[in-house]
Chain A
Amino acid sequence: MTGLRGEAAIIGIAELPAERKQTRPPSFTLDQYALLAKMVVDDAGVDATAVNGLLCHGLAESDMFVPATLSEYLGLPVNFGERVDLGGATSAGMVWRAAVAVELGLCDAVLAVVPGSSVLPKSVRQPLSPPGWHGASSSKYGSPQAEFEIPYGNVGQNGPYAQIAQRYAALFGYDTTALAKIAVDQRTNACAHPGAVFHGKPITVDDVLTSPMIADPIHMLETVMRVQGGAGVLVANADVARRARHRPVWVKGFGEHIAFKTATYAEDLMTTPISRAAGRAFAMARLTPSAVDVVSLYDCYTILVLMTLEDAGFCEKGKGAEFINSHDLTFRGDFPCNTHGGQLSFGQTGPSGGMTHVCDSARQIMGRSGENQIPGCNTGFVSGNGGIMSEAVALIFQGS
């Protein structure tokens, strides 16, 4: 298989602490990009002038020309600029695109930062329109969602993720305690990660199972809470990496798969797109799941973590609950998962939620995870997930 040679590395990371109520002043997304860009460049210890590539998501201040607007604002002309539109898989998708741009020689250093604060400055003369309730569904004329989903109340994420869990339960069985244990173990991790919104707030399996039912069988503590934050990385070639301050985190493999928008139309709802994405990533890296020291799995719901463990090859299909029950998923355990707490317990920082998973594995491999550090951590697996298990990106990182 052709693919990455593993010659592009994450050399700088930024992760703003998750805040339920933001203490920083309101900030335009343009300024959030600028702040995060400075943070990753400073973290790497390289000059901003090294940057000549730019991956981005959206701008609240502009619906179009996002890379050009950002390039101009930052004063950084780039040889490659792209806006990535993969929902929760956006951040992981940015990282492999950055690595490819570096390996092709297009760029020396690529910014991949994602603002995660919805607290924007307000103008009396130009008030922002409040966000609609359609969320990730388009209500525009001609949109399949407007016509065939929204009228039946199929809006948002809770319903369809719960439908996936129900189908899984009917086919493979459903161990509510195992699902709850995912949230509990990740909370333990959050309690050792000061930036997590639930730092200092441990929970038990009983807490999860007695929290309100949102959509059967998903409980409130199996869902994520929107918080304010932001995260990003700087991806660079070996020359820049040599001048950088931290141990480089080489991007060894990736895969991406986009299967549908609405879960109703999945060819096979029980085989999630991470299956193909992870298969490609491991083949490219010439590694197997057993080589992985830390996994940072996109976790908007506990059921996604369970199905990712199965479909990415960490355990057999249908054996996810057994795997979770027989492993300790905390940073002290035999299968560390989301050592930053995951979005379940770090908090869900909007578009940058996926980037916190990238930062989690990168920070471990750099050896900078503090209280949460896994001794000798060298190989990480990151998953990104967008929509309703509609689109997935897998990344494999190695320190050496």
Chain B
Amino acid sequence: MSDKMEKPLPTPTPTTQKFWDGLRNREVWIQYSPSSEKWVFYPRILAPGTLVDDLEWRQVSGMGKLYTFTIARKPTAPPWNDDLPQLLAVIELDEGPRITTELVNVQEDSIRVDMRVRPVFSDQPDSDITLLRYEPA
């Protein structure tokens, strides 16, 4: 019996649409709060921590470093049964916020915490979703 399952894709919301539209255009857009001088990810309606209503969208390079990772040898859930190993990663953008992602185009044994990484815009088949994956810079 095949355990092949469809991969779950995100459903953008009115709050997050700008981020997903950006990825579709090979751009990374995240929010910034001028009052707290902080970059924000994921998108919200008010600045986290201060709840000030001043979030504005700004384009960033998407460049960052690998904050941490793991190589999952067992699937984290059935949709990834045929995708082992999973290179589960957390990226810290140069602007500060962290993003959950997966590493691609990398040798397992060359992955290092804090290595430089760059975005890979990963169009998903049969959808208008582009995921933000990462590879060594």
Contact with A along B25-43 (1 / 0, CB 8 A): 0000000000000000010
Q: Are B10 and A147 touching (Cβ within 8 A)?
A: yes
Q: Are B73 and A212 touching (Cβ within 8 A)?
A: yes
Give every chain A residue within 8 A of B67 (Cβ-Cβ): 167, 269
Give every chain B residue within 8 A of A158 (Cβ-Cβ): 70, 72, 74, 76
Task: Name A246-265 residues within 8 Å CB distance of B.
Answer: 262-265
Given contacts A153-B76, A153-B88, A212-B73, 8 further A-B contacts (CB under 8 A): A146-B8, A147-B10, A147-B13, A149-B100, A159-B70, A163-B88, A163-B90, A262-B100
Asked, given contacts A151-B131, A153-B88, whether A215 binds B100 with beta carbons under 8 Å apart, the answer is: no
CA distance A212 to B72 in the complex (A): 11
Task: Name A209-229 residues within 8 Å CB distance of B.
Answer: 212-216, 218
B22 at the interface (CB under 8 A from A): no
Asked, given contacts A148-B42, A156-B76, A156-B77, whether A166 binds B70 with beta carbons under 8 Å apart, the answer is: yes
Give every chain B residue within 8 A of A269 (Cβ-Cβ): 67-68
CA distance A191 to B88 in the complex (A): 36
Interface size class of A (residues with CB under 8 A): 35 or more
CB distance from B133 to the nearest CB of A (A): 8
Give every chain A residue within 8 A of B9 (Cβ-Cβ): 151
Give every chain A residue within 8 A of B112 (Cβ-Cβ): 170
B50 at the interface (CB under 8 A from A): no
CA distance A198 to B87 in the complex (A): 32
CA distance A147 to B67 in the complex (A): 20
CB distance from A360 to the nearest CB of B (A): 29
Contact with A along B11-33 (1 / 0, CB 8 A): 11100100000000000000000
Contact with A along B67-88 (1 / 0, CB 8 A): 1111111101111100100101
Q: Are B42 and A151 touching (Cβ within 8 A)?
A: no
Give every chain A residue within 8 A of B70 (Cβ-Cβ): 158-160, 162-163, 165-166, 215-216, 218
Interface of B with A (CB < 8 Å)? Answer: 7-13, 16, 42, 67-74, 76-80, 83, 86, 88-90, 98-102, 112-114, 129, 131, 133
CA distance A269 to B90 in the complex (A): 11
Give every chain A residue within 8 A of B69 (Cβ-Cβ): 163, 166
Q: Are A163 and B131 touching (Cβ within 8 A)?
A: no
Give every chain A residue within 8 A of B79 (Cβ-Cβ): 133, 153
Q: Are A215 and B74 touching (Cβ within 8 A)?
A: yes
Q: Are B113 and A166 touching (Cβ within 8 A)?
A: yes
Q: Are A144 and B42 touching (Cβ within 8 A)?
A: yes
Give every chain B residue within 8 A of A139 (Cβ-Cβ): 8
CA distance A129 to B8 in the complex (A): 19
Give every chain B residue within 8 A of A134 (Cβ-Cβ): 77
Cβ-closest chain A residue relative to B112: A170
Contact with B along A116-148 (1 / 0, CB 8 A): 000000000000000001110001011010111
A154 at the interface (CB under 8 A from B): yes
Asked, given contacts A148-B42, A153-B80, A214-B73, whether A141 binds B11 with beta carbons under 8 Å apart, the answer is: yes
Asked, given contacts A147-B42, A170-B114, whether A142 binds B13 with beta carbons under 8 Å apart, the answer is: yes
Asked, given contacts A147-B10, A147-B12, A147-B13, whether A164 binds B73 with beta carbons under 8 Å apart, the answer is: no
A48 at the interface (CB under 8 A from B): no
CA distance A158 to B76 in the complex (A): 7
Q: Are A148 and B100 touching (Cβ within 8 A)?
A: yes
Q: Are B11 and A133 touching (Cβ within 8 A)?
A: no
CB distance from B116 to the nearest CB of A (A): 15
Supply 7 A–B pairs (Cβ within 8 Å), ascending by A: A135-B77, A139-B8, A147-B10, A159-B76, A166-B69, A215-B72, A264-B100
Q: Are B77 and A152 touching (Cβ within 8 A)?
A: no
CB distance from B5 to the nearest CB of A (A): 9
Q: Are A214 and B74 touching (Cβ within 8 A)?
A: yes
Q: Are B99 and A264 touching (Cβ within 8 A)?
A: yes
CA distance A91 to B68 in the complex (A): 30
Q: Are B72 and A159 touching (Cβ within 8 A)?
A: yes
Give every chain B residue within 8 A of A154 (Cβ-Cβ): 76, 88, 100
Task: Name A10-31 residues within 8 Å CB distance of B.
Answer: none
Cβ-closest chain A residue relative to B71: A216
A35 at the interface (CB under 8 A from B): no
Q: Are B73 and A159 touching (Cβ within 8 A)?
A: no
A68 at the interface (CB under 8 A from B): no
Give every chain B residue within 8 A of A78 (Cβ-Cβ): none
CA distance A142 to B71 in the complex (A): 28
Cβ-closest chain A residue relative to B108: A216
A84 at the interface (CB under 8 A from B): no
Give every chain A residue within 8 A of B13 (Cβ-Cβ): 141-142, 147
Give every chain B residue within 8 A of A265 (Cβ-Cβ): 98
CA distance A162 to B73 in the complex (A): 11
